[in-house]
Amino acid sequence: MNFRKIVLLLLMPIWSSLFAQTMVKANFQDSIPDSSAAKPLKFNPKQLILPTALIGFGFIGINSDQIKDFNSEVSEEVVEHIDKQITIDDFTQYAPAAAVYALGALGVKGKNNLKDKSIILASSFLIMNITVLSLKSITKVERPDGTSNNSFPSGHTATAFMGAEFLYQEYKDVSLWYGVSGYVVAAATGAFRVYNDRHWVTDVAAGAGIGILSAKAGYWLFPTVNKLFASKSNPNRKSAFIPYYDGKQVGFGYVSSF
């Protein structure tokens, strides 16, 4: 099986969708609305069903003998047929979130402006990162390859699904295919974590749930978090989180103008 071809097929929808939408746009002006135009996501209990189901499955798998056997069977099957590891998941985990900024740079307007969506993404990333690192240190699940005891949950998968939900929320009103493409890339990231023998299936499931829930929480908390960056004494002050990637690490920088 040629996994490089599979990766190209999985990534194709996001680029083809981006190209199609961009060609339809006649106006490529980068118009950024005021912060008052921000559209936070309203909380709905139904939004918890999918992520909590995924997280619950992951937690059950830690102690369930049946699910442990399933994890082992998948891992053994992967190891038996693996040719060599493909580390593309180190990059695809960031692709959905990066697509939001790429689309904005191309003039495809999303739900929120640059400042607001950066605050939402930073909040989501912080929630996701704290949750993942805390669970890793508490559960101490051994990785399939036996290299360490921090397998649960999958951080790569959590990052990818957080970005996919972020992409979906920002562009679902423009085209549903943006969100679908983001989730395809996120799912591929999780699959490669299993393929590379770095995670169990339950690690990936829990990571996906945490990522989705973290992104939603970023939107739910936005009105409150946004107040931290508002200045009553200087209404012209503008603040924003700017994501960065230096080839080894990913993070956010805080920029403020007066």
CATH, domain range 45-78+87-235:
1.20.144
Q: What is the pTM of this model?
A: 0.77
Contact 131, 214 (CB under 8 A): yes
Residue 119, pLDDT > 90, answer: yes
Q: Which residue has the tokens 């978090």?
A: 225
Residue 172, pLDDT > 70, answer: yes
**Span 14-55, pLDDT tens digits:** 444 443 343 333 233 333 344 445 666 888 889 999 999 999
The helix (run of H) or strand (run of E) holding residue 244 is strand 238-245
**Span 130-145, pLDDT tens digits:** 999 999 999 999 999 9
Residue 152, pLDDT > 90, answer: yes
Domains of the chain, by residue range, sit at 45-78+87-235
**Span 230-257, pLDDT tens digits:** 654 455 555 555 554 444 555 555 555 5
